[in-house]
């Protein structure tokens, strides 16, 4: 019975991957159509002095279609604001907004985004939210505008190329990343309903009037996965929203170390917010554990204990384990500096899955010393 459940979940999971194959990445271009509209960028920050410089350098290299760069600080104490002022002296497009203190019923990033939207140029057609650790490449602005026009999108994420800190992170980061593929399929598609939404707040473009009309950033005020909550909110409002690979446009080192990734990514990775039902959550976790994480471990145990290799149990788990290697090969293109340990990431699936289960039901989470607001606490 256990193997049959695995098989049914596996058939659905790989069917979803097949159904979402063929998606396209955001193509790099430096040509901007005359009617493309202008962009105001919002960069939310908190103690980002050591990471922010390359992000601002990349944005300052953007053409005049990027009319404003609003850096919103939620209470830095490391000199971030002084750094921003120095950049603002170079280019008048940079505007510093001191958004501290963060209200008690808001999480910091959502508050920064809401303050940034309020301070943004009302004549800008688009808002680009971009994290401080993202490294924009030439053509980012032009490519985002072209992709939005070609696909008639109201909003979309362009996932940056991922850079890893070392061999240990190359082992666990792909294991965590694969949990998204197993739950949602492959990138490159338009979300048809809120449940199917994928989003990445590292580089997210949306129509400014849509964000204002729907008050999307306020909807994420108590979310631990603000990017996904914002995207779900927009889809429910009728927006055409997609999730695409954008490795040609920017890169990012999400975490400083493997321990940093282990501690912090599982906070948002469950994609849990007030719209998530318990049934959906259990379904997702069962898929991760039974289809992604357990098959390789069970195959190794079976080989060590002499389980019948012709049994249904062995065949189903062997098929799922081989499928996992295929997913590993497919996610390779998401990374810029693959270490040899990347190819062993399937062995990290089980501890990473258990870490994700624990984080899903943990009552409190912290980020840079601040306890995050729990979902559903605001009126």
Closest C-alpha among 219, 59, 228, 40 to residue 132: 59
**Residue 378 forms part of a structural domain:** no
Closest C-alpha among 143, 41, 36 to residue 91: 41
Question: Does residue 299 sit in the same domain as residue 329?
Answer: yes
**Residue 172 forms part of a structural domain:** no
Question: Does residue 62 sit in the same domain as residue 117?
Answer: yes
Q: What is the pLDDT of residues 240-249, one digit of tens each?
A: 999 999 999 9
Among 223, 257, 291, where does a domain finish?
A: 257
**Residue 265 forms part of a structural domain:** no
Q: What is the CATH number of the domain that holds 191?
A: 3.90.550.10
Question: Does residue 305 sit in the same domain as residue 365?
Answer: yes
Q: What is the pTM of this model?
A: 0.94
Contact 186, 17 (CB under 8 A): yes
Question: Does residue 45 sit in the same domain as residue 93?
Answer: yes
State the pLDDT at residue 378.
Answer: 46
State the pLDDT at residue 23.
Answer: 86
Among 257, 287, 304, where does a domain finish?
A: 257
**And the tokens for 222?**
């108590």
Question: Does residue 48 sit in the same domain as residue 135?
Answer: yes
Closest C-alpha among 230, 148, 150, 158 to residue 188: 158
Q: What is the pLDDT of residues 82-134, one digit of tens each?
A: 999 999 999 999 999 999 999 999 999 999 999 999 999 999 999 999 999 99
Contact 74, 46 (CB under 8 A): yes
**Residue 86 forms part of a structural domain:** yes
State the pLDDT at residue 375.
Answer: 66
**Residue 138 forms part of a structural domain:** yes
Q: CA 371 to CA 379: how far, in whole Å?
A: 19
Q: Give the domain extent around 297.
A: 2-19+274-371
State the pLDDT at residue 32.
Answer: 86
Question: Does residue 89 sit in the same domain as residue 199?
Answer: yes
Residues of the chain with pLDDT under 70: 367-369, 374-379
Question: Does residue 135 sit in the same domain as residue 283?
Answer: no
Contact 156, 240 (CB under 8 A): no
Question: Does residue 331 sit in the same domain as residue 247?
Answer: no
Q: CA 376 to CA 378: how far, in whole Å?
A: 6
Question: Does residue 206 sit in the same domain as residue 315?
Answer: no
**Residue 120 forms part of a structural domain:** yes
Question: Does residue 11 sit in the same domain as residue 95?
Answer: no
State the pLDDT at residue 379.
Answer: 44
Q: How many domains does one find in the chain? A: 2
Question: Does residue 195 sit in the same domain as residue 130?
Answer: yes
């Amino acid at each position: 019975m256990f193997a049959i459940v695995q098989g049914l979940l596996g058939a659905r999971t790989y069917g979803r991957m097949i159904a979402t194959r063929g998606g396209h990445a955001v193509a790099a271009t430096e040509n901007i159509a005359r009617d493309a509209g202008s962009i105001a960028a919002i960069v939310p920050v908190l103690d980002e002095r050591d990471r922010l410089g390359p992000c601002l350098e990349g944005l300052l290299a953007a053409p005049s279609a990027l009319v404003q760069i609003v850096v919103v600080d939620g209470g830095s104490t490391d000199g971030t604001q002084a750094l921003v002022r120095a950049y603002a002296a170079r280019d008048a497009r940079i505007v510093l907004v001191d958004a501290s203190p963060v209200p008690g019923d808001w999480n910091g990033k959502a508050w920064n985004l809401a303050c940034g939207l309020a301070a943004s140029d009302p004549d800008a057609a688009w808002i680009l939210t971009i994290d401080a650790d993202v490294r924009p490449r030439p053509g980012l602005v032009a490519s985002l505008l072209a992709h939005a026009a070609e696909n008639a999108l109201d909003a979309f994420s362009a996932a940056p190329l991922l850079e890893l800190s070392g061999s240990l992170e190359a082992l666990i980061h792909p294991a965590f990343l694969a949990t998204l593929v197993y739950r949602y399929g492959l990138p490159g598609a338009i979300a048809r309903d809120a449940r199917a939404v994928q989003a990445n707040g590292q580089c997210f473009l949306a129509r400014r009037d849509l964000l204002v009309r729907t008050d999307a950033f306020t909807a994420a005020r108590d979310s631990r996965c603000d990017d996904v909550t914002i995207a779900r909110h927009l889809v429910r409002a009728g927006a055409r929203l997609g999730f695409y690979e954008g490795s040609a446009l920017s890169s990012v080192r999400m975490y400083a170390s493997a321990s940093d990734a282990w501690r912090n990514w599982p906070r948002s990775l469950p994609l849990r917010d007030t719209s998530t039902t318990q049934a959906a959550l259990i379904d997702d976790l069962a898929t991760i554990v039974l289809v992604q994480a357990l098959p390789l471990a069970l195959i190794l145990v079976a080989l060590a204990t002499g389980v019948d290799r012709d049994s249904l149990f062995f065949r189903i788990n062997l098929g799922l384990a081989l499928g996992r290697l295929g997913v590993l090969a497919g996610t390779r293109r998401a990374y810029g500096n693959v270490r040899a340990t990347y190819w062993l990431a399937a062995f990290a699936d089980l501890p990473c899955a258990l870490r994700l289960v624990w984080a899903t039901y943990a009552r409190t989470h912290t980020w840079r010393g601040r306890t995050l607001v729990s979902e559903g606490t605001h009126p």
